Amino acid sequence: MLKDGFGRTIETLRVSITDRCNLKCLYCTINQDTVFLPKHRIMTYEEIMKISRILLDLGLSRIKLTGGEPLIRKDLPKLIEKLASLNEVKDLSLTTNGTMLTSFMAKILKEAGLHRLNISLDSLNPYTYRRITGGKLNDVLRGIDNAIESGFNPVKINTVLLKNINDSEIFDILNFAVEKSLTIRFIEEMPFSKTPYSGVSNDTVFSMLKPYLETDKVVKDDKSPGPAVTFKVKGSNAKIGFISPFSRPFCMKCNRIRLSTDGKILPCIATNKGVDILSMIRNHSPDQIIIDKIKESLMGKKLMHDGFKNPLKMNLLGG
Ligand code: SAM
């Protein structure tokens, strides 16, 4: 088992496989900074496999692919297939904005061995969706249906609420979850970009939704233990989760390590201090030296995030 300096077991690797995205969400770095990495600085699939292999040998067992928008990356199913074939990988998931998740792509991803899909959806109103993301609501709604029809279960939806933009839609989103038997997770906005829009505390969202939730029992997710505190919606198969880095920080239970698009290992979502593993791999450093550097980085993992004083760009780090 891989442990950090505070004895937390690190189980999950989050990989940002591309910094590019077809959307420009108001709360994402891409909205203000669209300078993308030159291609040669982005990890190849072989390099992602090599780094994953090292981390799996150290005891990790869950991998999440994110970005940027992972579906933009050419031949993504090939990477999924390779990762899914590794015995140590107990859980392989992907976070996408869903707008390019055609029925064909959803099926191919499933066949390649992807276990789970998380899809981001911030609004059910086409105008608001366009305002937040620059994209078309119908594209993501179709993507969600395609994911369900291809047999992904559960399909989890990520929603970031912004004051006076989409915070009037909390009950619409609850109804949508019930109608489609989905798990919706409200993620508190983290300050990655200097946006003038402020996020909504999950304490507020929880108090509004409480009457509709079975709050006496937190739903345990053994398949993918993560930071969400999740409740069943009364009388339905839907679930509502709360990911609350500010109102209920979960750093004490953090089980993640991150790999940025340019191959840096970072111990925390709020830091920009990473170890450049990609350069080491390209310079043919011995595995043991790479392992020592990864362990050193983990020893520097703080007990709590620092309030996102100086984070890396969200699209390089992955959400
Ligand atoms: N493009 C994919 C997507 O939209 O799901 C994957 C990358 S995106 C960075 C991953 C997740 O991070 C999304 O659910 C997104 O809503 C969330 N996210 C991005 N910026 C955020 C922020 N500033 N605060 C909270 N969540 C954020």
Ligand 1 midpoint to CA 143 (Å):
16
Residue 97 pLDDT more than 90?
A: yes
Share of the chain above pLDDT 90, in %: 87
Residue 302 to residue 241: CA distance in whole angstroms = 25
Ligand 1 midpoint to CA 118 (Å):
10
Q: What pLDDT score does 310 carry?
A: 85
pLDDT digits (tens, 9 = 90+) for 246-269: 999 999 999 999 999 999 999 999
Residue 239 to residue 176: CA distance in whole angstroms = 11
- Give the type of residue at 11: E
Q: Whole-prediction pTM value? A: 0.96
The token pair at 25 is: 């969400």
Q: What pLDDT score does 99 carry?
A: 98
Question: What domains does the chain contain, in order, with CATH numbers?
Answer: 12-317 (3.20.20.70)
Maximum pairwise Cα distance, the chain: 57
Lowest mean pLDDT among 76-90, 145-159, 174-188, 300-314: 300-314
Residue 141 pLDDT more than 80?
A: yes
Element (H, E) at 116: strand 116-120
**Closest by Cα among 134, 136, 130, 123 to 34:** 134
Q: What pLDDT score does 193 carry?
A: 79
Mean pLDDT of 109-118: 98
Lowest mean pLDDT among 25-39, 175-189, 257-271: 25-39
Ligand 1 midpoint to CA 47 (Å):
24
Mean pLDDT of 188-205: 91
Residue nearest to atom 9 of ligand 1 (CA): 319
Residue 43 pLDDT more than 90?
A: yes
Instruction: Name the DSSP letter for residue 143.
Output: H
Hey, CA dihedral for 304, 241, 23, 12, is it positive or negative? positive
Mean pLDDT of 21-48: 93
Residue nearest to atom 12 of ligand 1 (CA): 319
Q: pLDDT-derived band of residue 53, with 50, 70 and 90 as boundaries?
A: very high
Atom of ligand 1 nearest to the CA of 318: 9
Residue 15 pLDDT more than 80?
A: yes
Residue nearest to atom 17 of ligand 1 (CA): 319
Q: What pLDDT score does 269 carry?
A: 93
- Pocket-testing residue among 64, 71, 95, 246, ligand 1, by greatest number of atoms within 8 A of Cβ: 95
Ligand 1 midpoint to CA 116 (Å):
16
Q: What pLDDT score does 178 carry?
A: 97
- Pocket-testing residue among 22, 23, 25, 100, ligand 1, by greatest number of atoms within 8 A of Cβ: 25
Q: What pLDDT score does 229 carry?
A: 96
* Ligand 1 pocket by Cβ (under 6 Å): 21, 27-28, 66-67, 69, 95-97, 120, 158, 160, 187, 189-190, 192, 314, 318-319
Q: What pLDDT score does 283 carry?
A: 98
CA-to-CA dists, residue 193 to 24, 32, 190, 312, angstroms: 12, 7, 8, 10
Residue 152 pLDDT more than 80?
A: yes
Atom of ligand 1 nearest to the CA of 21: 1
Atom of ligand 1 nearest to the CA of 67: 7
